[in-house]
Amino acid sequence: MKEKEEEKNNKNKKYLIVILILLVLAIIGSISYIIYSNNQKKEQENVMPYSDLIKNIYSGNVEKIEMTVGSTAIKVKIKNDDKEKSSIVPNTQAFIEFIHEKVLEDEIDLQQKQSNVFFRISNGIFTLLPTILLVILFFVILKMQGLGDKGKVYEANENDTKVRFKDVAGLDEEKNELIEIVDFLKDPKKFQKMGAKVPRGILLCGKPGTGKTLIAKAIAGEAGVPFISMSGSEFIELFAGLGASRVRKLFEKARKISPCIVFIDEIDAIGARRTSSSGAESENNQTLNQLLVEMDGFETNETIIVLAATNRPEMLDKALLRPGRFDRQITIAPPDIRGREEILKIHSSDKKFADDIDFKDIAEDTAGFTGAELANVLNEAAIIATIKNHESIEKDDLEEAVKKVTIGLQKTSRVISDKDKKLTAYHEAGHAIVSKFLQTSMDIKEVSIVPRGFAGGYTMYKTNEDKFYVSKTEMEERLISLLGGRAAEKIALDDISTGASNDIEVATQIARDMVTVYGMSDNIGPVSLKTENPYEIQIFGKDIEDEIGKEIKQLIDTAYVKAQAILRQNMNILHAVAQTLLEKETISEKEFNRFFEN
């Protein structure tokens, strides 16, 4: 990412120079225009209309005429008049001939002058300026389109393949999942002999700066294969068909150097759901279609792994996610407190720190920071220490750096406040603890207050064996665990938040299905009330809708009361789990179960 940025900066510099040249030209143009129009203005005060001029010539009043080559403006001296007049002749050549024809040679002193140099140059630039500007603009656009450097369809870098898994902090599970890709790239024949199919496309989902590019490079580095990359936004072109042709070139290159990794950053820029077919939209479709064609066209002997990154997997066109394309998704979450400490350590290796620095403290202060932001903190700290003439980076420097980066993040409201953290901690603790006391609930795998997607935290359950049927008790208990989050907020903090909105939505849908689809309500009985047309329900009588509403509400109310009751009986556990979440951010299954021992 760093190298990419540098290159971008260089490109930007080039554009800056071009823009500066344009500006200078524009200034010269306007100056000459001002001089030019000033001249004209002065002359206008003494202007003699062409018809008057002709009259004066016929009546022999004109003593002298001064013409400038290349200009239709002339100066006229009338007999017995000291002031020179000016006039404009429609056609200089015809005018000269007219004088030679109609007037005796010596009667009018006709002089033809070369215009002065500055005026001529500025006049020339002025008339040529629009053309020059257009030509330059055209080239700038071409450059921006990338037509200028036709061969350069990818950005590979020597350093890219030097990255190893050890350079990627945290993300152990993700690395584990990707190790088979490394094995495949190293020895594809082994897999082919077995008839094993290895995913060709992997989607890395996560916020910017969480290390998606880094981990893709690490795969290439570990496998010792080239890494070629491109950003989705670079495929979006003004000229139709260019995006598609770039995709083609990218894969042409990939086939040539295979085995290799192809990395497509910001794939949502080309892979967004196909909606309409107008303008830019249809250009995207062409690009997307080309990508699909390329991925479908992989031969078994081509060892190309395509990794794509996005922050919005839900936006992607479903066609991209089909088998053989990006059929595996790996979520790269922002680091938890331990991950942050590790990232800080990795990025501190090339910097000098004072002895009393504990990265644990900084990790604690940087909840919600991504890897890129943490790297940024260390860089800022080094700058601050340098400015302050410190021997090494001191605690104060780091604290100041954290503040500086935090303020930058606050503008985009990505820092989690202590209040939000506390709320999330109780909310997630609520889900987890309530689940623990339910007969049918799945075991807890992990509880966390590290944000994921739109959620401030999450409670992960261990998935049980596949089940065909779900019992009424299970559904009722599911409602209880879903409402456990809200219940904990209410009981522990005596305030409730919007954080439970998704839980409530899911719970209500389950309750509705219980009543209208699965016939689980005693009062209504086993009747399917799921109809497209609301009037169809009325065959069960007018009151049926009221009844459905009452039943749904009854199910939810009961579950909410039960969730609160469970938590009230386990207040000390609730406080303890929430407190631990605030400290550690993520609690494993083992750690969680320890709260319930003895």
Amino acid, single-letter form, for residue 117:
V
**Which of ligand ADP, Zn ion, none has residue 503 at its interface (CB below 5 to 8 Å by kind)?**
Zn ion
Report the SS3 class of residue 317.
Answer: coil
**Number of neighbours of residue 187 by Cβ within 10 angstroms:** 13
Whole-number minimum distance, CB 502 to Zn ion, in Å?
7
Q: By CB under 5 A, what part of segment 463-522 binds Zn ion? A: 485, 503
Q: How many residues does the chain have?
A: 598
Strands across the sheet with 109-113, in order? 84-88, 73-78, 62-68, 109-113
**Which of ligand ADP, Zn ion, none has residue 171 at its interface (CB below 5 to 8 Å by kind)?**
ligand ADP
Whole-number minimum distance, CB 518 to Zn ion, in Å?
24
Angle between helical axes of 472-493 and 501-516 (0-180°, round to 10): 150
Q: Which of 222, 373, 428, 477 is catalytic?
A: 428
Amino acid, single-letter form, for residue 394:
E
**Which of ligand ADP, Zn ion, none has residue 372 at its interface (CB below 5 to 8 Å by kind)?**
ligand ADP
Tell me whether residue 4 or residue 328 sits nearer to ligand ADP (CB atom): 4
**Which of Zn ion, ligand ADP, none has residue 343 at its interface (CB below 5 to 8 Å by kind)?**
ligand ADP
Binding residue for ligand ADP, selected from 209, 226, 456, 499, defined by CB under 6 A: 209
Tell me whether residue 53 or residue 375 sits nearer to ligand ADP (CB atom): 375
- First-to-last C-alpha distance (Å) of the chain: 51
Report the SS3 class of residue 521.
Answer: coil
Of 169-177, 185-193, 243-251, 405-413, the segment contacting ligand ADP by CB under 6 A is 169-177
Q: How far apart are CA 525 and CA 513, in angstroms?
A: 13
Report the SS3 class of residue 112.
Answer: strand
b (16+ CB within 10 A) / e for 224-242: ebbbbbbbbebbbbeeeeb
428 is catalytic: yes
Whole-number minimum distance, CB 503 to Zn ion, in Å?
4
Of 18-26, 206-214, 218-226, 470-478, the segment contacting ligand ADP by CB under 6 A is 206-214
Binding residue for ligand ADP, selected from 56, 213, 310, 424, defined by CB under 6 A: 213
Whole-number minimum distance, CB 502 to ligand ADP, in Å?
25
Binding residue for ligand ADP, selected from 371, 456, 484, 485, defined by CB under 6 A: 371
Whole-number minimum distance, CB 423 to Zn ion, in Å?
11
Q: By CB under 6 A, what part of segment 329-368 binds ligand ADP? A: 343, 346
Q: Which among 550, 557, 549 is positioned nearest to 479, based on CA atoms?
A: 557
Angle between helical axes of 337-348 and 571-584 (0-180°, round to 10): 20
Of 187-195, 205-213, 389-397, 558-566, the segment contacting ligand ADP by CB under 6 A is 205-213
**Using the rule CB under 6 A, is 208 a contact of ligand ADP?**
yes
Binding residue for ligand ADP, selected from 48, 153, 168, 244, defined by CB under 6 A: 168
Binding track, positions 304-333, relative to ligand ADP; x by CB under 6 A? -----x------------------------
Tell me whether residue 56 or residue 229 sits nearer to ligand ADP (CB atom): 229
DSSP 407-453: HHHHHTT-SPPHHHHHHHHHHHHHHHHHHHT-SSPPPEEEEE-S-BT
Question: Which residues touch 350 (CB under 8 Å, ≥6 apart)?
Answer: none
**Using the rule CB under 6 A, is 169 a contact of ligand ADP?**
yes
Number of residues lying near Zn ion (CB under 5 A): 2
Q: Which among 302, 207, 205, 282 is positioned nearest to 240, based on CA atoms?
A: 282
Binding residue for ligand ADP, selected from 214, 382, 438, 555, defined by CB under 6 A: 214
Whole-number minimum distance, CB 174 to Zn ion, in Å?
24
**Using the rule CB under 5 A, is 368 a contact of Zn ion?**
no
Dump strand ranges (E) for 191-259.
201-205, 227-231
**Which of Zn ion, ligand ADP, none has residue 485 at its interface (CB below 5 to 8 Å by kind)?**
Zn ion
Binding residue for ligand ADP, selected from 29, 170, 484, 499, defined by CB under 6 A: 170
Whole-number minimum distance, CB 151 to ligand ADP, in Å?
25
Whole-number minimum distance, CB 564 to Zn ion, in Å?
15
* Angle (CA) 329 333 335, round 5°: 150
Categorise residue 519: left if φ over 0, alpha if ψ from -120 to 50, beta otherwise: left
Whole-number minimum distance, CB 506 to Zn ion, in Å?
9
Whole-number minimum distance, CB 266 to ligand ADP, in Å?
9
Number of residues lying near ligand ADP (CB under 6 A): 20
**Which of ligand ADP, Zn ion, none has residue 421 at its interface (CB below 5 to 8 Å by kind)?**
none
Amino acid, single-letter form, for residue 350:
D
Q: Which among 241, 310, 299 is positioned nearest to 273, based on CA atoms?
A: 310
DSSP 557-571: HHHHHHHHHHHHHTH
**Which of ligand ADP, Zn ion, none has residue 375 at its interface (CB below 5 to 8 Å by kind)?**
ligand ADP
Q: Which among 424, 384, 436 is positioned nearest to 405, based on CA atoms?
A: 384
**Which of ligand ADP, Zn ion, none has residue 482 at its interface (CB below 5 to 8 Å by kind)?**
none
Torsion of CA 451, 456, 457, 458, to 10 degrees: -110
**Which of Zn ion, ligand ADP, none has residue 92 at its interface (CB below 5 to 8 Å by kind)?**
none
Report the SS3 class of residue 155.
Answer: coil
Provide the 8-state DSSP code for 267.
T
Residues forming the active site: 428
Interface residues toward Zn ion, by CB under 5 A: 485, 503
Interface residues toward ligand ADP, by CB under 6 A: 1-2, 168-171, 206, 208-214, 309, 343, 346, 371-372, 375
